[in-house]
């Protein structure tokens, strides 16, 4: 019996037995935006420093609200930084997972942004985001899956009255 207990302890230590339940961590403070690094802009319109700073801030806010929305199943959180297809699709996802008791917890490890295209009139920007995060999928309190993900997103952002909004966010296979 003692041997079995030892073996079980060792197995747990090696992480081979995934816990069946998990406590969702507390909500991130409003100031804990994910880290976003902006590394290059390819035009054709030159990007002002202020615009670059605003993109970095608003994209980080968008990810924070998306993560909170998927964790708390609150689609209204998308209103701040999502519009168009992105808002529609993520809103539908949140509604669907909320309806069947699923939620996701994201641990964001940061984003590396490149502006692939900034339209001549300043009306649309396409970004490439190379990001890493950990996602935990829960059914109620039961942890179904933990995955560490490195993924590339193509993102379309458009300016609104006082911020840039995510209009489309689509993951692509990293090359």
Partner 1 sequence: MRNLCCTFLLCSAFVAVSQAQTTLALHLPANVSAGEALVVSSSGTGSRTFYLIGPGHVAKRRFLAGDSIQISPDETAIAGSYQAIACNGQECAATDFYVTPNRGAELVFLVHPSRVPVGKLDAISAVTVVMDRFHNLALQPEGVTFRAITRETAVSSPPQTTRNGVAWTRLNSGLEDGTVQIDASLGQLSERRVVQQVSAEPCKLHASAEHKGGRIVLQTDPVRDCRGNAVPDGTIVTFTKLDKLGTTTVDAPIKKGVARTEMGFAGPATISVASGVVAGNETYMGGSR
Answer for which of 47, 57, 68, 93 binds partner 1 (CB under 8 A) is 93
Please answer whether residues 116 and 129 qualify as being in contact, where contact means their C-beta atoms are separated by less than 8 angstroms: no
Helix (H, G, I), strand (E, B) or coil at 35: coil
Answer for which of 120, 161, 162, 175 binds partner 1 (CB under 8 A) is 120
Q: Is 53 an interacting residue with respect to partner 1 (CB under 8 A)?
A: no
Q: Is 11 an interacting residue with respect to partner 1 (CB under 8 A)?
A: yes
Any idea which residue has 């993520």 for tokens? 90
* Between 53 and 88, CB nearer to partner 1: 88
- Taking the complex as a whole, the smallest distance from the CB of residue 30 to partner 1 amounts, in Å, to 25
Rg of the chain in Å (alpha carbons): 19
* Between 32 and 122, CB nearer to partner 1: 122
Distance CA 130, CA 110 (A): 9
């Amino acid at each position: 019996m003692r041997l079995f207990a030892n073996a079980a302890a060792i197995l747990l230590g090696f992480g081979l037995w995934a816990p069946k339940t998990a406590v969702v961590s507390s909500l991130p403070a409003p100031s804990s935006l994910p880290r976003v690094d902006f590394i290059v802009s390819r035009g054709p319109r030159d990007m002002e420093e202020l615009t670059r700073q605003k993109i970095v801030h608003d994209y980080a806010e968008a990810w924070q609200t998306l993560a909170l929305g998927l964790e708390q199943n609150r689609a209204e959180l998308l209103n701040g930084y999502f519009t168009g297809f992105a808002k529609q699709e993520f809103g539908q996802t949140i509604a669907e997972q909320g309806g069947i008791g699923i939620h996701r917890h994201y641990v964001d490890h940061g984003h590396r942004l490149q502006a692939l295209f900034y339209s001549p009139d300043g009306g649309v920007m396409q970004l490439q985001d190379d990001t890493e995060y950990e996602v935990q999928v829960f059914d109620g309190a039961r942890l179904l899956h933990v995955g560490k993900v490195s993924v590339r997103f193509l993102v379309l952002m458009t300016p609104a009255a006082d911020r840039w909004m995510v209009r489309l966010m689509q993951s692509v296979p990293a090359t």
